[in-house]
């Protein structure tokens, strides 16, 4: 989701939300890097890479919650994986 501008991400999420309403107990799982808002070199370079190469940017947990919320979804809980990525589960709000 972080390589999409918010409008494109919201369009994708709204499409999924329509499917979710038709299928009981459907959940969306994203594997995403969550920006910690630290000024460490890795975070800065990751965000810079997203902006220059993919035209997007890294998002914080609050920004993911806001984007998902706009599509009628809510984060159950982000789970840290054995890397810099998180598994983000979203369910209908």
Please count the residues of the chain: 93
Judged on CB neighbours under 10 Å (0-12, 13-18, 19+), 64 is: buried
Check pLDDT > 60 for residue 2.
Answer: no
What CATH number is given to the structural domain containing 16?
3.40.50.150
* Statement: the pTM of the whole predicted model exceeds 0.85: no
Range of the domain at 34: 6-92
Domains held by the chain: number: 1
Instruction: Note the pLDDT tens digit of each residue in 31-58.
Output: 887 776 656 777 677 777 777 777 777 7
Residue 1 maps to a domain: no
How many angstroms from the chain centroid is the CA of residue 38? 18
């Amino acid at each position: 989701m972080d390589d999409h501008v918010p409008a494109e991400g919201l369009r994708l999420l709204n499409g999924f939300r329509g499917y979710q309403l038709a299928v009981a107990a459907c959940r969306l799982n994203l594997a995403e890097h969550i920006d910690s808002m630290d000024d460490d070199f890795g975070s800065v370079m990751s965000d810079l890479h997203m902006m220059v190469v993919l035209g997007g940017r890294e998002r914080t947990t609050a920004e993911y919650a806001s984007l998902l919320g706009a599509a009628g979804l809510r984060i159950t809980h982000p789970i840290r994986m054995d890397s810099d990525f998180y598994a983000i589960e979203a369910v209908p709000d």
